[in-house]
Amino acid sequence: MNKKIFVAITLVGIVAIAAYFLFFNQDKFSSERWKNEPKERGEMVDDFISTYGIIGMDKAEIMELLGEPENVYFEDPKNIVYYLGDEPSMIKIDSYWLIIWFNEDNEAVDYELKTD
Predicted local distance difference test score (pLDDT) of residue 20: 54
Evaluate whether residue 38 is within a structural domain: yes
Predicted local distance difference test score (pLDDT) of residue 44: 93
Predicted local distance difference test score (pLDDT) of residue 17: 61
Number of domain units in the chain = 1
Q: How far is CA 13 from CA 3, 7, 26, 71, in A?
A: 15, 10, 20, 40
CA distance 15 to 44: 23
pLDDT in tens, 18-62: 555 555 555 899 999 999 999 899 999 999 999 999 999 999 999
Q: Which residue has the higher pLDDT, 3 or 21?
A: 3
CATH (domain of 104): 3.30.1450
**Confidence band (pLDDT; 50, 70, 90) for 68?**
very high
Predicted local distance difference test score (pLDDT) of residue 53: 93
Q: Which domain holds residue 65?
A: 27-115
